[in-house]
Structure 1
Amino acid sequence: MDMDGDWPLPRPRTRFRIDRHRCGASLTSKTSIASTFSSLAMPVVIEVVQRTQSLATEVDPEAFHQLRVAFRKLRALYWAYSPWLGEEATAHASEEFKRLAAVAGGTRDWDIAGDLLKTAQKSDASIERLVSAAREKRAQAVAHSQTMIKSDAVEAFLNDAMMRAQTTLQSCCNDLPIRAFARRRVRMAQRTLRKRSRRAARSEAGHEENLHDVRKAGKKLRYLLEFFQPVIKGEHERTIKELTAVQKTLGEFNDIAASETLIRNTSFDEVPADVVEKSLQWLEREKCQRIDLASRKVKAISD
């Protein structure tokens, strides 16, 4: 699916009410499905709006990364409520969240690749030319993000998406308590993670892609546990910590694999081909070392 395609971002006449005083309000098992969505979505929406407003002057890689994470959290939340929101509405919103996350993540991707290349440079000074080229690509990514992510358009899109979601949920599940629903969605996310982990643990061909699928499923589960922890029974702090540790290992592997793909698919007019090839060989060696550790982590959770 082409995630770079435009999806219209209308300015609705009725605005989604963002009550900042309710953002920190505690949820209970008796809170309705509809009102819980609003309470969980509001803090993330506010964060996205604030970060996109500062994007015009922001060049901190962590800020771009956190914006990407916020969009991912909204995708997870929409997935959780998709049985009530409907397939079409969920797909439209999720596709735009994914597109915006990818645009915001371009800068972060080049920061990661640049840091890896600096490490590679320690063993081969000639790679410094590629390090410099990566800095230029990073600057281009910043400009692209600033051009593509306009705060007014993003706020209008979020305003419309949240208002539509709120209206739909209030019409069909405004009096239904959240606990049973939240537990079902968490269990479904757990089953998906277990299934993907087992597939990755026994796979050989296409192993990298399977590890990436595990990473995505783990993120979704962790976000849902963080969202729903106040209203579902059981202690989930340990599970969140375990998921975070696995995600860290898978993330380090993914950074190398993604950087290798990024460099391989990018044209560097001012960098000799042999220098690019040296960097790719170095990344390949690092990836081979990391994949064993990532595989062991995945096997552990698959059991």
Structure 2
Amino acid sequence: MPTVGTLVRQRLADQRDALRAAEAAVRAGEATGLHDLRVAMRRIRSLLATFRPVFDRSVTEPLRAELKDASGRLGSSRDAEVATDNTDRLLEDVELAGVDEDAVAGLRARLRLDAVAAGDVVEETLDSTRYAALTLLLDELVTHPPLVDAKAQRDAVKVARKRVRHEARRFADVAATARADAGAGGDGAERGGQDPGSSAHRALDHPAQLHEVRKAAKRLRYAAETARPVDEEAMKPVVKKAKAVQSALGEHHDAVMTRAILRHLALDEAVGEAAAFLLGHLDADEQRAMVELEQRAWASVDDLQDTLDATL
């Protein structure tokens, strides 16, 4: 009978190796390296949080705090990178008739400067003594996992499924809060027949709440991934449906970041009236995209909830 201690020990080792590989990819300039590095960090943090009862928290909580700090700094760079790429793509796709080409070229130059600044933050983070200490602490945890012996010897399937149910309840609570903040309860947007993105202001009024739903979906997905080696049939659909929620809300978050850059550029007096007018149109396009993405996200949330109700 596999124990939960064996299960989490293997997951921790796998994600430590993934972090090392992703860090090497970042340093080598590979395009997906930063994304993969942050995913490995999140999976480790989620593992230590979801399976907190199995670990000695006095050892794991400091590591979670350091991972959160590093991931946050890298995340700001990643957001800037994605939003910059999206804005550059929008500038390529937009109809440029009547717009000063020099103004557009100036906008692209500004975006490149932002991208360079974001890259500097990544380099500074990975070369810091704090990050070096983090990797040493992670290696120590993998070599000597701080497990609570009695709890670590319990049946892996039972404990893992219990922890996934815990994350499923957490996800449902966060989603319900976001739905209420969207004004769903008062205008016929209840689950099972809602049109939560039917007005543009909803997608704009609560991006932070939607981002929390996305993070809760990630944590649920990672918990199910950890449990999957010992509970494949139950966890496979949970992973799939949680990933769909994460994907839709990830695109929504990217649109939020892109709009922030568009507005920042538009407020710069140096860009000129023609470019500011163009940026306003691009901002409106992204606003419409956010509404559609929120609709898709809520449909994915309901689909995930149905799967959880049927599986767990």
The structural deviation recorded for 1:38 is 1.9
Question: Which amino acid is 1:238 matched to?
Answer: P
The structural deviation recorded for 1:161 is 4.0
The answer on 1:191 being equivalent to 2:161 is no
Determine which structure has the larger helix proportion and give its number: 2
Question: Which amino acid is 2:20 matched to?
Answer: V
Question: Which amino acid is 1:213 matched to?
Answer: E
Q: Among residues 71, 75, 94, which one is paired with 2:64 in the alignment?
A: 94
Instruction: Please list the CA deviations of residues 35-86 of structure 1 after superposition, one character each: whole Å capped at 9, or x if unmatched.
Output: 322211112111212332443342x331111111110111111112212325
Q: Among residues 35, 39, 45, which one is paired with 2:6 in the alignment?
A: 35
Q: Secondary structure at the match of 1:290?
A: helix
Match of 1:149 in 2: 126
Match of 2:289 in 1: 286
The structural deviation recorded for 1:243 is 1.9
The answer on 1:115 being equivalent to 2:85 is yes
Quote the Cα distance in structure 2 between the aligned partners of 1:56 and 1:268: 35
Q: Secondary structure at the match of 1:254?
A: helix
Quote the Cα distance in structure 2 between the aligned partners of 1:135 and 1:148: 20
Match of 1:239 in 2: 238
The structural deviation recorded for 1:117 is 1.3
Quote the Cα distance in structure 1 between the aligned partners of 2:145 and 2:44: 17
Match of 1:254 in 2: 253
Quote the Cα distance in structure 2 between the aligned partners of 1:77 and 1:37: 8
Cα distance, 1:171–1:291 mapped onto 2, change above 3 Å: closer
Match of 1:139 in 2: 116
Count of aligned pairs between the two proteins: 273
Instruction: Please list the CA deviations of residues 95-141 of structure 1 after superposition, one character each: whole Å capped at 9, or x if unmatched.
Output: 22122223333443233212321343233644443333222211221
The answer on 1:61 being equivalent to 2:31 is yes
Q: Secondary structure at the match of 1:61?
A: coil
TM-score normalised to structure 1 length: 0.76
Match of 1:214 in 2: 213
Quote the Cα distance in structure 1 between the aligned partners of 2:152 and 2:303: 40
Quote the Cα distance in structure 2 between the aligned partners of 1:71 and 1:176: 26
Match of 1:180 in 2: 158
Match of 1:200 in 2: 178
Task: After superposing the two structures, state which structure 1 stretch, 292-301 or 261-270, moved more.
Answer: 261-270
TM-score normalised to structure 2 length: 0.74
Quote the Cα distance in structure 2 between the aligned partners of 1:82 and 1:101: 20
Q: Is the 8 A contact 1:52 1:150 kept in 2?
A: no
Quote the Cα distance in structure 1 between the aligned partners of 2:17 and 2:180: 42
Cα distance, 1:181–1:265 mapped onto 2, change above 3 Å: farther
The answer on 1:81 being equivalent to 2:51 is yes
Q: Secondary structure at the match of 2:229?
A: coil
Quote the Cα distance in structure 2 between the aligned partners of 1:248 and 1:109: 15
Q: Secondary structure at the match of 2:26?
A: coil
Quote the Cα distance in structure 2 between the aligned partners of 1:181 and 1:232: 11
Q: Is the 8 A contact 2:4 2:156 kept in 1?
A: yes
Cα distance, 1:198–1:138 mapped onto 2, change above 3 Å: same
Match of 1:45 in 2: 16
Instruction: Please list the CA deviations of residues 182-234 of structure 1 after superposition, one character each: whole Å capped at 9, or x if unmatched.
Output: 11110001111122222333432653222211111111111111111122374
Q: Is the 8 A contact 1:51 1:67 kept in 2?
A: yes
Cα distance, 1:249–1:54 mapped onto 2, change above 3 Å: closer
Q: Is the 8 A contact 2:84 2:261 kept in 1?
A: no
Quote the Cα distance in structure 2 between the aligned partners of 1:149 and 1:182: 33
Residue identity (%): 22
Question: Which amino acid is 1:294 matched to?
Answer: A
The structural deviation recorded for 1:268 is 8.8
Quote the Cα distance in structure 1 between the aligned partners of 2:252 and 2:38: 19
Match of 1:26 in 2: none
Quote the Cα distance in structure 1 between the aligned partners of 2:107 and 2:238: 40
Quote the Cα distance in structure 2 between the aligned partners of 1:271 and 1:191: 50
The structural deviation recorded for 1:181 is 1.5
